[in-house]
Copies of this chain bind each other. A is one copy, B any other.
Amino acid sequence: MARLTNDRSSCPVSVLMNLLSGPWTMYIIWMLSTSGPTRFGALRRQVEGISTKMLTERLRMLEQEGIVYRHYEPTVPPQVTYSLTERAGELVTILDQLNGLAQRWYGDLPSCGSSQVQPEALEKATVLL
């Protein structure tokens, strides 16, 4: 649903990059990888400044791509918990390398996520599958 004037949309890397490129996307993934399964409200508070619209949009997209899992609990009030899927693990691993590179290039003081993927976070996520 963007510029399709060229064939970038048919290229795997571009597809993937377009996903990750979206605003807030990386941040959400980082938060989920460090915090583990998180409820919608909590996530919105963690990703400071994001609008509900964006958060929903991003989560839907990530869910559709099999990167995020959405667990709906029909209680009153309803509870929705988001977590990373197993698939996301592969991605986070690479993102982690990117993080390392970024730190070497730009200084390693203010990392916005642990440079080490928290194993527990992924385990918890996987359990929910």
Contact = CB atoms under 8 A, between A and B. Distances in A.
Nearest to A98: B94
A106 B23 contact: no
A7 B98 contact: no
A40 interface: no
Interface residues of A, number: 41
Given A8-B112, A49-B5, A26 B15 contact: no
Contacts of A5: 49
Contacts of A47: 6
Contacts of A7: 48, 110, 112
B99 A97 contact: no
A97 to B, nearest CB: 5
